[in-house]
Amino acid sequence: MNYIYYILSPISALMGTIMNLIYCTISYAGIQNVGICIIFFTIFINIMMLPFTIKQQKFARISRIMSPEIQRVQKKYKGKLDQDSMMKQQQEIQEIYKKYGTNPVGSFGQIFIQMMIFMCLYKIISDIPSYVPNVKEAAFLFFGLNLMKTPGFHLTPAFIIPIMVGASQWLSTKLSMVDTPKTENEAMNATMNSMNIVMPMFSMFMCISLPAYMGIYWIAGSIARILVQMFINLYMKNYSDEDLVMESRKKKEKKKIKSLYLRSN
């Protein structure tokens, strides 16, 4: 994992500079507080990731639109394992992707970029003094809580942080699933519902044994995703399925023309 962080160090350095600027800015306003700095920084990064999130969700919606056609092709060739049938199945599925102006790995690029940025974000939050040189120990006090300490398995005021981590992550997940239709596979639906409960509980458990500022980071991240998801839900209502498919086709056609132009030159 260390070599990945090494490769991403330029991005981490840039994001660390942004966090330091946020901390210095709120310090000039008379607020020297790591908790508030983390909240502003995390929300800022999530908003900056908004274009990638929108692209990812557009791809997910197009995938749901063309899913019945892909399933029909898969049923057509079900049980046919000979090479000729498998090639025909693949060709027909590729034609469906072409029809809708997308491809099977359409969102991998966005997901990869998001993953890299959030890894850098996690690295910065877990080592704040390295990126915010002027931070003082007193700045880690947040509403009377020492963010450097772990909440632990004790019923203290700090225990509210793990509880808020679990609740905010659960709410964020529920909101992101609002427009996601259930599949016909009952086992898959049950698994998804279980994961939507297990993951927030796992995060809450992890937060108990980590410094409290990590919990603030997770809460801020969930709040940011909730705000972003609410905006995207409103934004996506402006697109009918036909509009979305037409936009996808036009973008693919533009990429094709651009590719041909670059090859010719």
Task: Transcribe 94-120 into DSSP letters.
Answer: HHHHHHTT--TTTTHHHHHHHHHHHHH
Whether 82 has a pLDDT exceeding 60, the answer reads: yes
Most confident listed range (167-176, 209-218, 256-265)? 209-218
Give me the pLDDT at residue 106, please.
59
- Which residues are CB-neighbours of 182 under 8 A, at least 6 positions away? 189
pTM: 0.75
For residue 133 the two structure tokens come to 């040189």
Q: What are phi and psi of 141, to 5 degrees?
A: -85, 125
CA dist 100 and 118 (Å) reads: 30
Give me the pLDDT at residue 235, please.
81
Using a pLDDT cut of 90, give the percent of the chain over it.
2
Lowest mean pLDDT of 1-10, 121-130, 141-150, name the range. 1-10
Give me the pLDDT at residue 185, please.
52
Most confident listed range (118-122, 225-229, 250-254)? 225-229
Name the more confident of 83 and 160.
160
Provide the residue range defining the domain that includes 73.
2-264
Please state the domain count of the chain.
1
Give me the pLDDT at residue 21, please.
92
- Confidence grade of residue 178 (pLDDT, cut at 50, 70, 90): low
